[in-house]
Amino acid sequence: MTMDSKLVILFFAVAMAIASSAMASDPSPLQDFCVADHASKVLVNGLVCKNPKYVTEKDFFFSGLDKANNSKSRVGSIVTPVNVAQIPGLNTLGISLVRIDFQPGGLNPPHTHPRATELLTVLEGTLGVGFVTSNSENRFISKVLKKGDVFTFPIGLIHFQINLGKDPVVAIAALSSQNPGVITIADALFGSKPPIDVNVLTKAFSLDKDVVKYLQDEFSD
């Protein structure tokens, strides 16, 4: 193989890597903004743009993130999203955020964002956080965060946050997608509709069938 041939192959390899990286992120805007038209029935990858003549300041605005939401849930936490569903002007801009409120001992259970990296900042309290790398290493990386600390969760990796203190915790997280998505692991596996075959979960988690059926009943509500 000649040097020129090697350079051509290297060029195409780099080009394909760049292209695949570009396709893995939110679509980039081709104009100043593309405010989502939530009333449109047209299905596209993302959301259809509203006619810019009808865009107002309300399309770029959300109010109330300063207020704590009721975190008295089964896991002791509540997530308040601010994504393209709440701010139509985020469409094609590749960013969103959430506020997370934790009761003492409250947990944001293991979950993943299939379309976004997360950058979390603790505003009040002490928070234990961690994520697990992909197979086959499955390395657990964790940290205890205090007020003002920032932690990153790479895109697609399973992660969690738990309140380690005796007082409520407030955190804000930015996400690198207008619609990051969330898959809560326990809910997805034990609360799927229709339910996953008991034999699959029994073998995957080395559990008794009765335990799997109990968990499916618990998460199906």
In the annotated binding site for Mn(2+), the residues are: 111, 113, 118, 159
Q: Provide the annotated binding site for oxalate.
A: 108, 113, 118
Q: Is 100 left (phi over 0), alpha (psi -120 to 50) or beta?
A: beta
Annotated binding site: 108, 111, 113, 118, 159
- Per the DSSP assignment, residues forming a β-bridge with 77 are 102
Distances (CA, A) of 17 to 42, 146, 167, 177: 31, 38, 46, 20
Whether 107 and 161 have beta carbons less than 8 Å apart is answered as: yes
Interatomic CA distance for residues 106 and 167, integer angstroms = 10
Alpha-carbon distance of 169 to 103, in angstroms, equals 7
